[in-house]
Homo-oligomer: A and B are copies of this chain.
């Protein structure tokens, strides 16, 4: 398939003026404010366990999750655009607001991340036990933690953390797998609840109000430099793409492209409990790919066709990140004092399984990325 969107490196296409950036930032700022209003109206109680909520079945939590996701979505895009096109923006202003947006995105993301991680690990435990996959969470395996996918496709996120759907299946699990599941549920639900409190605190803080005020200004007036009016956005977008391709070139793609290279588990029993250093370059590419995608959105005013190959590469890297963190959570849980050997054994199998997911995600990225570079004219 040929590239449908404007190629930022193509000198024959028309220049994209600074107005496009201003329009994009205004639209994202408006979206941010809309999501913020929705989040306040729905109360933001998504992380509170069902048993402590007044009406466990109401839609408030789902809408609140959607609102938080929309908040993060626009915050990421604003922050990325300020970074990619920083020569065209008031430096003091953009330097001041970017760390604040990063803090906000990060704080809001944690709750969802813990919920998705628990979901992923419990599903893996069931899969590894030969049990049927829980029918109520169809999307959770394919695109867990997928903040990039269209909204409303992941009702699993709204499920309360007590997971009543999982209970009837427990009969199929060994004692070890069931205990491992219960341990992970305890630890990750606690982390999720804490993240929820942090998010609520953050949204009520004066620091957050300052960010919201800044974004409200951005929605009406973008602080462009005088030169921005006549500048062309494409060279800056091309630089973002170049940083991405440079980082991808540095990845061990040949290894990743040969299946079952057993590379991801190579430190599976390493005494060092820190995250795998081998994952870092992949996480970095994930961020650069996102910057590139958002830069393309700016160029096309958000109306360009979806580049399926870029999307597939990004999803593979999301899966890579999710599996990497899930594997670390399983390893971490195995360090809990006084657990039974059967529990530890199940966590070991689970850790290795998720590290193989990491390897599989790298393979998937290599496949979709190769497709992309071959297809680009």
Contacts and interface: CB of A to CB of B under 8 A. Distances in A.
Contacts of A373: none
Contacts of A266: 127-128, 130
How many copies of this chain does one complex carry? 2
Contact of A268 (B128, B271, B360): B128
Interface stretch (A94-102, A103-111, A204-212, A334-342): A334-342
Given A339-B341, A344-B345, A345-B348, A360 B260 contact: yes
Interface string A269-313: 111000000000000000000000000000000000000000000
A74 B125 CA distance: 46
Interface stretch (A49-57, A80-88, A349-357): A349-357
A128 B265 contact: yes
A340 to B, nearest CB: 7
Given A260-B359, A341-B334, A267 B130 contact: yes
Interface stretch (A30-38, A154-162, A170-178, A215-223): A170-178
Contacts of A198: none
A259 interface: yes
A346 interface: yes
A190 interface: no
Nearest to A127: B266
10 contacts: A127-B262, A130-B270, A177-B269, A260-B364, A265-B353, A268-B353, A269-B349, A344-B344, A348-B351, A351-B352
